[in-house]
Structure 1
């Protein structure tokens, strides 16, 4: 299979998943007509999405997976979801970072993608509670991949979550003692009612500490599938976010709703709103 075919399959599956979540279920024959592909292609797409755990197959179609608000997927499970969107978001977010900035990156697969795009930005000071994010900078330094200036990385201690973030009192104490200009925050869910939320209570407190230590700008990096998802614990209102960097899958009506609360909406690949 060529790269173009892979990309088309990924885009098609993203559309299928959006339809399942929006309507609460879809039928195979509806999808074949809408997407102009064969019945077999749709069934393969549903099989792939079911293996990722993001929908459940039923006779003749598929329905959403209903997850408890306390369910926290592991890093590997989340990394296979919306990879192209996350990379586009990461590229757009990296463009907001000037050389010499002191910034923080929370845990998450999108912040992990962002870390890779920051390797060429010189003289950064990076605070993170993500083991995966710290590894990106450390491994690049060992391999000599940072071409314009190595970053100084501060990794907090703490208790490791399933998503490889360090949380708890040790992490919180370390973060409270630091001050940075810019925070990039990955989130489990975003909504007007619940704001920013996570299924992990300790991570909610650590994220609150990160936000309080950010001197200027809080940037949420989250793909469109995070909209409407609500975790067990809210840690910030949507009005506390300065900028949301997302992908083109976010519907127009949602963009308008977000714009009422968030001053900056950056849609990767599109003009800044």
Structure 2
């Protein structure tokens, strides 16, 4: 296959799913990592895709544009993993937690599959799959029904009805954006309603959100910044934003990446 033909196929993949991973394209086309990266660079130079860590996504997001799960999972992977490791420290055996849909909460799910006697409520198909693939007899997983969004969340009246009446110790809330004016937001109106029901069910609200979420505003507000008991972000967040958030959330935690020996930088 010629480079131009391969790039056209890659562009169709991006437009169809919202994003692609380099590793997936290497396997699909049977070419080198460098070849795929050159393809993505060529597409990015033409303004057709946006290069991100480990892949590429569609360009030009707006307040109602909702990237697919693949697109979002390709973004800020090291930062999301650092945030997820810190968030996992807040999960205790024998508790009930809720994980809303999102790639950061999906990453978190992988770090808590070994926690004993855990009850998990989620409206994310992807998160439910993580626990399904790592079964434990002492764990209960409740997946709400609902209408499926591009990011594989289940939302709408059925999801809200499933959440109402539940009471969880901690909700880990995935968000599209956060700002002083709009708070924590999503580009999907039905998802906002479902997430608000999850917030109402939780004794403690923890928001794991990487630095790129700051200043991004979706069409609908889920919660005010002040409603978050803990906000976990990464070292890429600027000092001014840190100071602003520290005055509005209960606790601001800045996650540092793990070193090669498995410990965290201080």
Bin of the TM-score, shorter chain as denominator length: 0.7 to 0.9
Distance 1:218 1:81 in 2: 24
Establish whether residue 170 from structure 1 lines up as the match of residue 158 from structure 2.
Answer: yes
- The 1:197/1:100 distance shift into structure 2, 3 A limit, reads same
> Is the 8 Å Cα contact of residues 52 and 77 (structure 1) preserved in structure 2?
no
Number of the residue aligned with 1:202 = 190
Cα deviation code 1:66-109 (max 9, x no counterpart): 42211000001111001111111111000011111101000000
Alignment partners' CA distance in 2, 1:209 and 1:52: 38
Structure 2 counterpart of 1:227? 214
Aligned residues: 215
Question: After TM superposition, what 4+ stretches of structure 1 lie above 6 angstroms from structure 2?
Answer: 43-46
**Secondary structure at 1:107 match in 2:** coil
Shift of 1:193: 0.6
Which residue of the partner structure matches residue 140 of structure 2? 152
Matched, 1:180 2:157: no
CA contact (8 A) 2:105 2:173 kept: yes
Quote how far apart the aligned CAs of 1:258 are: 0.0
Which one of 125, 129, 139 corresponds to residue 123 of structure 2?
129
1:163-194 CA distances to partner (integer Å, 9 max, x unpaired)?
A: 00000000000000211010000000000111
- Separation (CA, whole Å) in 1 of partners of 2:43 and 2:133: 32
1:255/1:159 CA distance change after superposition, 3 Å: same
Contact in 2 for aligned 1:52/1:80 (Cα 8 Å): no
Pairing 1:189-268 to 2, within 5 Å after superposition: 189-214=177-202, 216-268=203-255
The whole-number CA distance in structure 1 between the counterparts of 2:154 and 2:204 is: 22
Q: 1:152 to 1:52 in 2, by over 3 A?
A: farther
TM-score (norm 2): 0.75
Q: Which residue of 1 aligns with 2:99?
A: 105
| Gaps in structure 2 of 5+ consecutive residues | 1-36, 53-58, 258-263
**Distance (Å, rounded) in 1 between the aligned partners of 2:193 and 2:149:** 13
User: 1: CA distance between counterparts of 2:256 and 2:89?
Assistant: 12
- Preserved contact between residue 199 and residue 233 of structure 1 (Cα < 8 Å): yes
The answer (yes or no) to whether the contact 1:75–1:162 under 8 Å persists in 2 is yes
- Partners of 1:264 and 1:48 in 2: CA distance: 43
Q: Residues of 2 paired with 1:112 and 1:246: CA distance? A: 15
Shift of 1:253: 1.2
Mark the CA change 1:53 to 1:207 in structure 2 (over 3 Å): closer, same or farther: farther
Question: Residue 84 of structure 1 aligns with which residue?
Answer: 78
d(CA) in 1 for partners of 2:171 and 2:50?
Answer: 29
Change (3 A) 1:66 1:153: same
**Is the CA contact 1:172–1:209 (under 8 Å) kept in the aligned structure 2?**
yes
Q: 3-state DSSP class of the match of 2:221?
A: strand
Distance in 2 separating the partners of 1:123 and 1:191: 36
Contact 2:41 2:51 in 1 (8 A): no
